[in-house]
Amino acid sequence: MSMYISENGFITLTLAAIETSTKYEASGILLGYDVFHKRKHTYFVESVIPYQIAEREADSIYVMPYRKKRIRRVFHHYMKYKIIGEFHTHPGGSINLSSADKDDIRSSDYQLEIVVALEKKKKICPWKLKRGVLSGSIEEYFIEIASWRVKGRKIMKQSIRCPFAVGFDYSKPLSI
Ligand SMILES: [Zn+2]
């Protein structure tokens, strides 16, 4: 399993995290498509839309279910992409899932979640991919991006690919 994040997707994910900064969580939907080949899913995030109305705390975010349902209901009018998952941020936290996160992902319509962790760091770190997690700095913000998906009874990390952030890595082609 792997997840490909486009330039647009990367920009919105990181900007949404930086907008709410280390004080509040941000969340939203991932738009794109998936390719199923040789019994493997590869997800392509083409665009990311943050939820605008939410109750935000440093360690949680709540979006009214009827608003999520409204988006899901009308989305088929946009023919090009589908909603493939959701994202939320962890201000000052790690990319690991809390037990509340695991419950939310299991019960969500998509069962796929990107977590964007950010903290303030003086040291500037170049963008890189390590063990499937994308990380790097934008000004004083150190950002890590991980993707999680429900598979059977487990929640597995999916390897992220984002050529816009780290450049093409020809040594490890996408597994499709
Ligand atoms: Zn979380």
> How many angstroms separate the alpha carbon of residue 115 from the centre of ligand 1?
7
Considering only CA atoms, which of 3, 2, 5 is closest in space to residue 163?
5
Task: Find the helix or strand (DSSP H, E) in which 61 lies.
Answer: strand 61-62
> How many angstroms separate the alpha carbon of residue 52 from the centre of ligand 1?
18
Q: Can you give the pLDDT at residue 131?
A: 92
Domain boundaries 2-166, corresponding CATH code: 3.40.140.10
pLDDT band at 78, cuts 50/70/90? confident
Q: For the segment 86-117, what is each residue's pLDDT rounded down to a tens digit?
A: 999 999 989 999 999 999 999 998 999 999 99
Q: For the segment 18-36, what is each residue's pLDDT rounded down to a tens digit?
A: 998 888 889 999 999 999 9
> How many angstroms separate the alpha carbon of residue 85 from the centre of ligand 1?
14
Structure letter (DSSP) for residue 97: P
CA 152 to chain centre: 20
